[in-house]
C-alpha cells in the first residue's frame, strides 16, 4: 500500500542579554526598565504518518522564557502543547472526479497549558525583643520571594474542527471550515483571584474564480514576449462568536454574567497575473 513514515526532533535554545545602563533601575515605576536580562528555550518532538491518502501529524512541545529586570523582578512563562494533532484526507477528490480536480478534508486539535507570572524579592525587618541574655532590642533584615502576578490557562482548540477545500472543474475553488475552542483562565493579582471561561466558535466560507486567456497578449515593442492574462477573484465570509464568563462580572444573585461578542466580516481579493514574475492584487474588506 501507499505508506510513508517520517519523524523529526527539534531542540532550540536562545539567550538574549541587554544591559543599557548601570544606573538605578525604575524599581517603583511602571516605565521601561533601564536594564533587563532574558532567555528562553524550546523543545519539540513531532512525527507523521501517511496511509492510503490519510495524512496524520502530531507533536508535543514545551517552551520556557524569563526576563529579569535590573531591580530583580522576574517575569516567567511556561507553555506546554500536549498534544497538537492534524489529520487530512486527500483522496476525496476521487469520489468527485466527475466534478472536481482535487478535494481535501482536514481537521486539527491542540491542547495548550500555560503558566506565567512575576516574582520579586520583598524586604522586611524582624524585631527581636529583649531577653535576659540579650537585654537590648535588635532588628534583623530579611528577604522573601513574593508572587505579585500569577496566571494559569488551559485551551483546547479545534482549528479547524472540520474543513473542506475543493478545486472544481471550471476554475472554481471553494473552502469551508468550522472552528471551535474552549478555554479557562485563573489569574491572581494583588491578592485577588479572577476566574474566567471562554467558548469560541465560528466558520469561514470562501469561493474563488479564475478568468484567463490561454493565448495571452503581446506588446508591439516586445514581440518575443507573451504576457498571461489571468484574473482571480475570491470572496470570503468569516463569522465568529465568543462567550466569556468571569468572576469580575457578577449579577445581583452572585452568578457569573455571560458576555457574548459576535463578529462577521467579508473580504474580496482580486489578483491579476501579468507574467510568471509579475502580478498585482487588492483586498476589499467589509
pLDDT in tens, 163-189: 999 999 888 999 999 999 999 998 876
* Stretch 123-135: mean pLDDT: 61
β pairing state of 222-227 and 256-273:
unpaired
In this prediction, residue 224 carries a pLDDT of 58
Q: What is the mean pLDDT of the chain?
A: 76
Whole-model pTM: value is: 0.67
pLDDT in tens, 44-95: 888 888 888 889 999 999 988 888 776 677 888 999 999 999 999 988 888 8
pLDDT in tens, 57-69: 999 999 888 887 7
In this prediction, residue 23 carries a pLDDT of 41
Rg, C-alpha atoms of the chain: 29
In this prediction, residue 269 carries a pLDDT of 86
Between 49-63, 119-133, 196-210, 214-228, the lowest mean confidence (pLDDT) is in 214-228
Place of cell 471550471: 170
| Residue 15 or 111, more confident | 111
DSSP 191: T
In this prediction, residue 213 carries a pLDDT of 62
User: Rounded to whole angstroms, how far apart are CA atoms 112 and 84?
Assistant: 9
Cis peptide before 272 (omega within 30 of 0): no
* Stretch 194-200: mean pLDDT: 89
User: Rounded to whole angstroms, how far apart are CA atoms 25 and 11?
Assistant: 34
From residue 36, give the alpha-carbon distance in Å to each of 18, 26, 73, 79, 98. Answer: 6, 11, 10, 22, 63
Q: Which three-class secondary structure state does DSSP give residue 177?
A: strand
Between 81-90, 112-121, 128-137, 262-271, the lowest mean confidence (pLDDT) is in 128-137
Cell numbers at 285, concatenated: 474588506
Cis peptide before 83 (omega within 30 of 0): yes
Domain boundaries, the chain: 3-25+36-285
**Of the spans 12-16, 28-32, 55-59, 255-259, which averages the highest pLDDT?**
55-59
Amino acid at each position: 500500500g501507499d505508506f510513508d513514515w517520517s519523524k523529526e526532533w527539534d531542540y532550540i535554545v536562545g539567550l538574549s542579554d541587554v544591559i543599557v545602563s548601570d544606573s538605578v533601575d525604575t524599581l517603583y515605576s511602571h516605565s521601561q526598565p533601564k536594564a533587563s536580562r532574558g532567555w528562553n528555550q524550546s523543545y519539540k518532538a513531532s512525527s507523521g504518518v501517511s496511509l492510503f491518502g490519510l495524512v496524520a501529524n502530531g507533536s508535543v512541545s514545551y517552551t520556557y522564557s524569563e526576563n529579569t529586570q535590573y531591580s530583580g523582578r522576574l517575569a516567567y512563562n511556561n507553555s506546554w502543547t500536549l498534544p497538537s494533532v492534524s489529520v487530512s484526507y486527500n483522496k476525496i477528490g476521487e469520489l468527485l472526479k466527475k466534478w472536481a480536480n482535487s478535494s481535501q478534508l482536514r481537521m486539527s486539535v491542540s491542547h495548550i497549558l500555560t503558566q506565567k507570572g512575576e516574582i520579586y524579592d520583598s524586604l522586611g525587618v524582624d524585631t527581636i525583643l529583649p531577653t535576659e541574655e540579650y537585654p537590648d532590642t535588635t532588628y534583623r533584615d530579611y528577604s522573601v520571594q513574593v508572587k505579585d502576578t500569577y496566571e494559569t490557562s488551559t485551551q483546547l482548540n479545534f482549528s479547524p474542527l472540520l474543513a473542506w477545500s475543493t478545486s472544481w472543474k471550471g476554475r472554481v475553488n471553494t473552502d469551508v471550515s468550522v472552528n471551535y475552542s474552549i478555554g479557562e483562565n485563573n489569574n491572581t493579582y494583588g491578592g485577588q483571584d479572577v476566574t474566567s471561561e471562554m467558548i469560541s466558535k465560528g466558520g469561514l466560507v470562501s469561493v474563488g474564480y479564475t478568468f484567463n486567456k490561454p493565448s495571452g497578449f503581446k506588446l508591439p515593442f516586445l514581440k518575443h514576449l507573451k504576457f498571461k492574462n489571468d484574473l482571480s477573484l475570491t470572496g470570503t465570509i468569516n463569522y465568529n462568536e465568543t462567550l466569556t464568563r468571569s468572576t469580575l462580572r457578577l449579577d445581583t444573585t452572585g452568578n457569573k454574567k455571560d458576555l457574548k461578542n459576535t463578529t462577521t466580516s467579508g473580504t474580496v481579493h482580486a489578483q491579476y497575473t501579468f507574467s510568471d514574475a509579475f502580478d498585482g492584487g487588492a483586498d476589499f474588506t467589509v
